[in-house]
Structure 1
Amino acid sequence: MSQPASGSNAASAIVAGLSVVVDEHLRWLTQWHKAALFPRDNGQTGPDAAPEPSGFATWVTRVKKGSVAHQPAFDRLVQLHDQLHRMGRLTLMRAADGDLPDYGTYNAVLERFEEFIQQCRRIERALSVAGSGIDPLTGLRNRTGLADEVARELARFARTGQPFCVALCDLDKFKSVNDTYGHEAGDRVLVAASGCLTRGIRAIDEAFRMGGEEILILLKETTLAESLLVLDRLRADLAATPVQLADGQVLRVTASFGAAEAVSGLGVDALVDRADQALYAAKHGGRNRVEAWAPLPLP
């Protein structure tokens, strides 16, 4: 996840609040251990023996007022928080009735706690580097500076006539990966795909994560015909790259590409829009293919 550098102050405030949330939940876990495993020795019983930390609700309210509220990472964190405390309260209620948790129940709460803290750390790292222009998951450049980079190439093209192309890459049926295997698997696919693309382009070229599973590739000193050859090689490399999941399963993924070449008088947005139109054609042409932008035929 990423956000523009102009939101750096807001990001700093969110990270500071997140540190409080993590500290509160570490203290909560200690209280929960005592109440769940030694309810009588602890002198308290029931879910109130380990009250839910109050700082999280305040933090979420602050996040929802900011520019990053739409990020799915925050929704996932709220879900994990709700699951954690629902499971924790249920365990304490049973312990209060003399039913101490078995290993499976106890471990389930700890696993959910670990997931919650890991998600907090992911958000913390992402916001900490948001202003750096680097996507923390894939290591690609993010949207920060993208327009400036393309504008520089357009200016160079206007001066020298040196061609260049913009291409958009979109992983095919990526939503089904998240839905079927979970978001961790989706992250692994994104990391593997980004690594494949990075290895396949030259040092002078650039790759940007646009958001989600879409990646923009800036191919410098390249004609449209040359870019199509490069992109088809990248497409084949990606299709041949196995992605190993945490449970040992191996996925094969493909991607569609749309390319457009710079022409005189065309601005940044219009050039990227042409690449997007070509990507649309690749998706609707069967996926796992490369398409070049072409003007619509006259009626």
Structure 2
Amino acid sequence: MALSYEIDSKLKELSPIIDEHAEWYNRVMRAVFYPERAGDPFDPPQSFSQWVVSASQDDFASKPTLERLRKIQGELYDMASDLMHDARTTGARPDFKVYDEFTNLYDDLVYQLRRLEHDAVQADTGLDVATGLRSRKAMAVDLEKEMERRARRGKPFCLAIAQIDNYDQIRAFVTEERHREILAAVARLIKKCIRSFDDAYRSGEGEFIMCLKHSDVAGGTAANNRLRRFLEEEAIIIQDEKGRSFPLTMSSCVAEPLPGDSLDELLANMRSDLTRFHSTAPGSTTLEYFEQSPLSRYVQELDS
């Protein structure tokens, strides 16, 4: 299967970066254990920082992933500088614990870059790696096809957006591993809410969309109610930075697209309605989306 041009380009840029860091790591080890043969001073590779900037602009990887990579890189480079400085000034070999920590940092960076390669290939196939749901990229194509089918055959379908409440705060204090566990758990429950011919997507940070075929708003509301019930039964517990525990909740909005609707505008309005309602009535809830003229929506936003 051929990868998209954007994914293929970013993947091709990753391999040389990994190779450059392997060469740099070997030079650091030589400088630390055999400083008399280290040769001229050298700087860490610059290609990685340039790649991160480009990747963030192209939405190649999530912001938390890139921030984690930056953090590992910074710690690795700082530690390498300290190790080489001590070797030059004292001539003593580093303590094994320090050496092991440095090696683990390097291994972690390479592992994260390799996993990014794997995840990018998976995402390009239409699969979101963290959840097993379909990806946002696949969603854009799938929903356009549903709109065409709606216009051509008159077959209705319903969209249901479900957002994790207080997602940004949760993301700030849970570990990366726990974050992935939460996403996987929510995805598993969403799969239980839909039929075999429906589709579900991870559409953003803490956001999921269900595309329910041959369903109206009542069908979408029923799916969201099932999700809420499953969440209550599952009782996914979040623990904040102060050790306080609370259950994960989600808020949702359902809509039935009509022929001629702009999907981007429809989804943006559904998200806006969820945000506005959640600011006044936090906690799990389901909204039904009603189409409004741009003027009516503008006036409503002024009043809110």
TM over 0.5: yes
Give 1:92's aligned residue.
84
**2:162 corresponds to which residue?**
169
The alignment partner of 1:258 has SS state of strand
2:70 matched to which residue of 1? 78
Q: Could you say which residue in structure 1 is the equivalent of 2:284? A: 288
Q: Which runs of 5+ in 2 are unaligned?
A: none
Q: By how many angstroms is 1:259 displaced?
A: 0.8
Superposed counterparts of 1:104-253, under 5 Å: 104-239=97-232, 240-242=234-236, 252-253=247-248
1:161 positional shift:
4.4
CA contact (8 A) 2:10 2:55 kept: no
1:156/1:53 Cα in 2 relative to 1: closer, same or farther (>3 Å)?
closer
Q: TM-score, normalised by structure 1?
A: 0.79
TM-score, normalised to structure 2, is 0.77
- Counterparts of 1:34 and 1:177 in 2: how far apart (Å)? 43
Consecutive unaligned residues of structure 1, counting only runs of 5 or more, are 1-5
Q: Output the CA distance in 2 between the equivalents of 1:91 and 1:53.
A: 17
Q: 1:159-208: CA deviations, max 9, x gaps? A: 55443211111112222233212333323322222222123311111112
Q: Which moved more, 1:77-86 or 1:27-36?
A: 27-36
Paired position in structure 2 for 1:67: 58
Whole-angstrom CA distance in 1 between matches of 2:151 and 2:48? 53
User: In the TM superposition, what is the alpha-carbon distance from 1:64 to its structure 2 partner?
Assistant: 6.0
Instruction: Compute the RMSD of aligned alpha carbons.
Output: 3.5
Percentage identity across paired residues of the two chains: 24
Residue identity in the other structure for 1:86: D
Q: Distance in 1 between matches of 2:110 and 2:256?
A: 45
TM-aligned CA deviation for residue 293 of structure 1: 1.5
What whole-Å deviation, never above 9, does each CA across 1:196-233 have from its counterpart, x for those lacking one? Answer: 21233111111122222211111112221232122111
In 2: Cα distance, 1:279 partner to 1:111 partner:
43
Partner of 2:257: 262
Secondary structure at 1:175's aligned position in 2?
Answer: helix
Residues paired across the two proteins, number:
286
Task: State the Cα distance separating 1:134 from its structure 2 match.
Answer: 2.0
Contact 1:166 1:275 in 2 (8 A): no
